[in-house]
A and B are shown apart, each in its own frame.
Chain A
Amino acid sequence: MDKQYKDYLIGYYYRHIEGISMPEQMKPLLVEVLLRRANEFDLSSQDIYQDMISLCNNLKKIEISKMPKGYESAAGVYMGQENTIRIAPKYLRQALNTGDYETLYEIFTHEVYHALCADENGQDRLVSYNKYCNQYNATLREAIVEKAADRCVFSRNPNEKTAPYLHQNKFGYSDITFITDAIEATYGVTEKAFLKHAIMGRDRLVEFLASVSNEEKAETYDFLDRIEMNYTRLHGALYGKPAQTGKVLEQTLTDTMSSMYIICEDQMQKRIINQPIEDFNEADRCALDFKYDHNKLVTAMEHGINGFGYRTDTKKLRENVEGRVASFRDATISRICDFSEVTRNKENFESKEEAIMLMRWARHGNLWNYDRESLEQAGVQVEFAKMFSIPDTAKDSVERMDFNRTWDNQYIIYNTYELARDQMETSKMKILEFKDRLVDGIKNLFTKQKGLNPPSEHKNYINLQNQSGFMELTPEELERFNIGVQSVLKEHSTSQKGYKNPSQERDDNII
């Protein structure tokens, strides 16, 4: 996005959020949410227009206030009938305590995205009617909204060994957002492309997925309905009140994970058949893409299973899922292998037509019906169910480059801090006890020492920390101070349940 357009959009957004009641410090944060969304997902002016229609007609108030009854553990909620976003004060306190303002901003982004989901009549564009369970699909939208919000807040390293596009979300629903990765792999699209369409509504997503896979839109709706039915059950088991445990949870995880896995395998087989192949060069590329996408699917599902480690025995779960999925997965792999073999030896056939025909046979899983002798003469080895490793293909590079951007969050940190501090001082937020503040101050100093928030990167944030009353110490003073408060810190860490690590947070992280 060029600077001129960015400046124009900033003015455009400010003009339209005038009517929304919110703390003053929140306005630049809201504009940043909108700007990042437009920039990250390359939204057209029509999309931006739709976003503004959604926002202006579905958001009248943003407040820091106690969560409604029944949602006490949520970090934030969007209340459609009241056109209101509410953020839980405890997450502002937590940001002040830990210095992690990005998570607070991500929660805010998530809720704003919910407001943006609705059309001018208040109907959620990410929701559709599920013909199989006669319910409205309302769960996949959480994964989409969370994945998109996470992408627009937290930076990812494009060179990390575990592919950045299989990244687990930092905060909300981090155990179940693998589903977007699985769908992306099934359809062979990048996370960015998937989210770009998904955040604009179910119809847009279906239109996009149907177009890339050469299928009828009705089939894509059907695929998403089947996925969503299982995903809803999975979500309910993990986040319902009460959440499932023990044997019941184990069975639910087995049922839902294996069902979604089979549905994706089945859909991928169909996509392989539907892929139009006009010439040999295209066939080579398709063979690589199929391998790559299938590996991504397998890895995404594996990530999904591993992500339940905090609730169940993943080794057993993996075995159970494997038992149900293996034959479906092998059928996909076998087709890809056969197709790849024919493609690799395409020049050895008597005619181009024969090679193209055999590619078709392979994609339908029928190559083993063909004359074995002819295949062997052409050098084709019909093998069964090989596993691939993700090849270093151009497609992988493209996906990695998707993340070749580091967010400069100084602005966010500065404004979120201002917001949290102001709310702390002027609102009904409970002022932390002195001991808590002392420990938090020390924790922040430790964090600085470890270089996690180096002054060069977060200058504003550090300065503001100092303004907030925490002492500025020399290394020697710090050392003496550390020794003096070790006991307080120790006592604090054993007596208070705060400062959980992300995996411990999951129960509470219903954003």
Chain B
Amino acid sequence: MNEKIKLVTQVTLENGTVYYLYSDGNLYTQENGKLAKVQNLTDGNKKIIEKIMSLYKPAKTDVIDRDITGKTKKTEEKVDVEIPEM
């Protein structure tokens, strides 16, 4: 495997199969002790990928409504702040 490809995450499904997501964007599984790329994007595989990706949605924290979608807040008047002395 190319040395620059790095492990992103591992996911164990209910049936015990472990999937490995690598930084090349591909899924791999272990076959005969070696990593093998999941080649065919069948409907079954797509469902697995969807299921895997659904695991990574952030849970609630104590920060509510903070804009983390890349948009800026609605314009508010900015507060002037002094530059502190050294």
Contacts and interface: CB of A to CB of B under 8 A. Distances in A.
Interface of A: 8-9, 12, 15-16, 19, 45, 48-49, 52-53, 56-57, 68, 70-71, 74-82, 110-111, 114, 118, 120-124, 127, 129-130, 132-139, 142, 222, 226, 229-230, 232-233, 235-236, 239-241, 251-252, 254-256, 258-259, 262-263, 266, 324, 510-511
A162 B12 CA distance: 34
Contact of A139 (B53, B61, B82): B61
Interface string B54-73: 01111111111111111011
B79 A56 contact: yes
B70 A16 contact: no
B7 A259 contact: yes
Contacts of A229: 8-9, 56
B6 A266 contact: yes
B34 interface: no
Contacts of B11: 255
A16 B82 contact: yes
B1 interface: no
Contacts of B58: 135-139, 232, 235-236
Given A123-B72, A259-B7, A240 B59 contact: yes
A127 B67 CA distance: 10
B56 A233 contact: yes
Nearest to B25: A132
B56 to A, nearest CB: 4
A123 B71 CA distance: 8
Given A114-B62, A139-B58, A226-B7, A19 B79 contact: yes
A138 B61 contact: yes
A45 B8 CA distance: 38
A149 to B, nearest CB: 12
A136 B70 CA distance: 9
B84 interface: yes
A283 B1 CA distance: 31
Interface of B: 6-12, 18, 21, 23, 53, 55-70, 72-73, 76, 78-79, 81-86
Contacts, number: 163
Contacts of A48: 84
A465 B9 CA distance: 52
Nearest to B12: A251
A44 to B, nearest CB: 9
Given A122-B73, A266-B6, A135 B56 contact: yes
Contacts of B21: 132
A133 B65 contact: no
The 4 A-B pairs with the shortest beta carbon distances in the complex, nearest first, are A80-B66, A122-B73, A236-B59, A81-B65
A87 B19 CA distance: 42
Contact of B62 (A15, A76, A123, A137): A76
B63 A122 contact: no
A56 B61 CA distance: 23
A80 B72 CA distance: 12
A77 B63 contact: yes
A370 B8 CA distance: 33
Given A57-B78, A258-B10, A133 B56 contact: yes
Contact of A132 (B8, B61, B81): B8
Contacts of A137: 58
B86 A45 contact: yes
Given A49-B82, A226-B9, A226-B23, 13 more contacts: A45-B85, A57-B78, A77-B62, A78-B62, A81-B64, A123-B67, A123-B68, A123-B73, A130-B56, A235-B58, A236-B55, A258-B10, A263-B7
7 contacts: A12-B84, A68-B64, A77-B64, A80-B67, A81-B64, A122-B72, A510-B61
A457 B66 CA distance: 40
B83 A79 contact: no
B60 A45 contact: no
Contact of A124 (B53, B59, B66): B66
Given A122-B73, A136-B68, A263 B6 contact: yes
A259 B9 contact: yes
Nearest to B73: A122
A71 B60 contact: yes
